[in-house]
Structure 1
Amino acid sequence: MITVENLTKRYGSHAAVNDVSFTCEPGTVTGFLGPNGAGKSTTMRMICGLSTPTSGTATVRGVPYRRLGNPGREVGVLLDASAQHPGRTGREVLTVAALTMGIDTKEVPRALDRVGLNTTAGKRRVRAYSLGMRQRLGLALALLGDPAVLILDEPANGLDPEGIYWMRGLLRDFADRGGVVLLSSHLLREVEAVADQLVVIGGGKIVAQGGKAELLAQTGTLVRAADPAALEMVLNRAGLSGTRTTDGGFVVPAGSEVIGRAAADAGLVLLELRPAGSGGLEQMFLTLTAGESVKEAVR
């Protein structure tokens, strides 16, 4: 299990992560989502002991990562696929890791084969790898110690569609065998296909978390009016911030009755008012994190 409790990381007056709490249970894939700069990577680095929290705690299998005796045998980590020695071959990277973890080096060829890197790829130096090959090598390294927990930051980055489908199956199989997966990704449709639980972060704070089906059922309400500009003014006056859709409507994190009453009080003619759940994870993400990526980019 991964347990994060009231985790905060400050850089001066800026809170990169602010009072974040969630758990990842055995047998589940948890999708960790948020715009660029929302605090995902910082949170993962604190879980893995690479950054020290300002306050709060993060434990893996009941203890802080830094206190694990042989962490590679308990937690497989992939935070940066480029963080491999470019002058070593893929096989050498895994051999060094195996010796460090006390694993028989005979497991190295099996680990390469498990992630789709053949003998020729294993003999090639990492500097000659494509990004997709580095992702596969990073996964091989994460899985080498036969861990019970995987912590992966953008593991599908650089993979082609076939590779993404393969990774989805690998992670689903890992979780179905009782493993714990914490997965950060910008590929929302792939997360939706594989995740059981979702944690959505925006501006360093958790904005939603829970079961995938439960959260997608609570996406919000889609509303369209004959006069979109007037609708926007009505929503703003009522304190109902919405995300504009391509057809001039808005997805609002509020119930249809609240929105309908605000429109009726303003004498506004509505063309559509219905649950927006059919938009899936992508629509939920945009609704919950509206404007966050812009704020982070110019901070």
Structure 2
Amino acid sequence: MEFNPDTVRNEMVDFWAVATSPVAVNKFFHTVLSGWVLGAIFVVGVSAWFLLKKRHKEFALQSIKIGAIFGLVSTLLSAWTGDGSGYQVAKTQPMKLAAMEGYYEGREGAGLVAVGLLNPDKEKYNDGKDPFIFRVEIPQMLSLLAKRELNAFVPGVKDIIEGGYVQKDGTVALSAAEKIERGKKAIAALASYRSAKKEGNTATADSAYVTLQENMAYFGYGYIKDVHHLVPNVPITFYAFRIMVMLGFYFILFFAVVLFLVYKDKLAEMKWMHWIALLTIPLGYIAAEAGG
């Protein structure tokens, strides 16, 4: 897209760039596949209810078989697209990634937090308090997932706000304050452009347009009053992401066990498994919301 200062809106200039955007492709398929997982969980759970009530046994077992196969394949594909989506988040939304990991200080060879409890007393990125009460990390895994390199530097919240680190393309990251200033320049340039156009002052309009184009990428930052507003709610983002991931692994195990029991002709009489299938239905909705 390109910003059109005359209509004051972003206008698409390349449909195929939109349609084949790695961000859009990953998020689209991850979202659709997550819906399929939820649908499969619902089918298996409702079918298990029929088994509990000893009604339509053969139909219920066939529904469970189809639902579990569909669910297992969808969950595995969802995990794959989730990895791709995470990689794109690291490239285009580094602050979101930092919040997902409760990650305040960037470093090379960053570890992925497998299990952790955030420090509720930490309120700001620069308050000097440890962000975690405890955590267990998988060494270098975050660098691998985010940058596809074991020793790559992954910026934290503090790094993104303060800038100054070298990015993958070799440029030095701007600080939030610098982005805000550039955003204000873009806003002022837009106002100057529209005013000059209205007055028929072509030279001023052209100059303002150049300034606008140079700073357009930071336009939204011009409305930020406090850099702390750029930091999302870290606890919600951190825990929601882990709920989604943990439930995703649970669904893989759940569908695999259900299929095993179906093909062993044992599921029909296993009431405890019927109840697990029923109780898994709300977990599907929780996972979908946590991932959203």
Q: What interval of TM-score do these two structures reach, taking the shorter chain for normalisation?
A: under 0.3
Name the structure where helix makes up a greater proportion of residues. 2
Name the structure where strand makes up a greater proportion of residues. 1
TM-score by length of 1: 0.25
Higher Rg of the two aligned structures: 2
